Amino acid sequence: MKALGLLSGGLDSSLAVKMVMDQGIEVVAVKFTSAFCQCDTGGCNHAAELAGKLGIEFVTVAKGQEYLDIVREPKYGRGSGMNPCLDCRIFMLRKAKEIAEDIGASFIFTGEVLGQRPMSQRRVAMDLVEKEAGLEGKLVRPLSAQLLPPTEAEREGWLDREQLLAISGRGRKPQIKLAEEKGIVDYPCPAGGCLLTTKEFSAKLADHLAHSDRLDAADVAVLKVGRHFRIDGLKVVIGRDERENARLRDLAKERFIVIEPTSVPGPTCLCDAAAGEDVIVKAASIVARYSDGGGGAVALKIVSSSGQRAVEAEPMANGEIDSLRIAADKAPLTIEME
Ligand code: SF4
């Protein structure tokens, strides 16, 4: 008997894997990654490490352009940020179903806990996701199983329902106690992980989608770096430190004009390649404001596909900068699904 478990590396999915293994079932773990993962919170590495410690097969699946198209236009709305959690879970479970068929796994399970998350872990949402993924009555949630109808795995006797649990709600105490019993330690913070749930990133993404029909990996890479501004409908990005400046230079390619100070230290700026002189002048003025020019004029170079030229710019006033900045409090409203 083999089962496929979705393993994020967080506490709940780690416990679910251990619970299924403890019933004598061979587990293969799958971890989905995307351009919106904040892997420095440890989830990605932790999932691989845990799988290694448990001696189980571990597969990673990158959610590519197909997923970005869903993020751009989710069927079931978004959470409190730009997170399309229902569509995201449907997407992952559909992929998991394909993998399960390929490897001959008899069932799929997740670490979901009934009522833990406002959008995706309400009963009605869990049922919807299961149905849309083509897994009706077949998806096991070991941590909440006793609060849900028996799945095929329980009805067929592959899993002993009595050994599954009845955890619900947002509290973590039962899971922490169970982790101690099962020897699971060093799990990452449950809040870490998805940029789509953060306010600052959601504001940038909402602005991007309000101005563009395209969302690809290069767009997301730029959205993850720097201060973002919108000038006459065009995007301007300013690096916040040397690491971001270097990253922006890497990302410029043919989509952006690069503006950098030459007379004093200061930020790298990407300005939409479609920008006319009016926008370039304003972007240069923002660069001057964030440069170490002591409030005076700053010499800059402007590099585009047509070559390089030198200009001088006066720093933009703070009030005007604020009016052009893409900020969380200016983001279009998103749908909160409760
Ligand atoms: S928080 Fe992010 S990764 Fe998790 S289900 Fe929602 S959209 Fe997907």
Q: Report the pLDDT value the prediction gives residue 254, as an integer from 0 to 100.
A: 86
Phi/psi for 237 (5° steps) reads -125, 135
77: phi > 0 → left, psi -120 to 50 → alpha, else beta; which?
A: left
Q: Per-residue pLDDT for 43 more than 70?
A: no
* Mean pLDDT, rounded, for 291-307: 95
User: 278 alpha carbon to ligand 1 midpoint, in Å?
Assistant: 39
pLDDT, position 338: 29
Q: Looking at per-residue confidence, does 115 or 333 come out higher?
A: 115
Q: At 109, which amino acid appears?
A: F
Give pLDDT tens digits for 259-278: 999 999 999 999 999 999 99
Please report the pLDDT score of residue 335 as a whole number: 40
Mean pLDDT check: name the lowest of 136-140, 169-173, 219-223, 308-312: 169-173
| pLDDT for residue 298 is more than 80 | yes
Q: Does residue 188 register a pLDDT over 80?
A: no
Residue 307 pLDDT more than 50? yes
pLDDT of residue 186: 74
pTM: 0.91
Calculate mean pLDDT across residues 41-66.
87
Rounded to the nearest whole angstrom, what is the distance from the C-alpha of residue 79 to the centroid of ligand 1? 9
Q: Is the CB of 196 under 6 A from ligand 1?
A: yes
Is residue 68 lining ligand 1, measured as CB closer than 6 Å? no
The atom of ligand 1 lying closest to the CA of 71 is 7
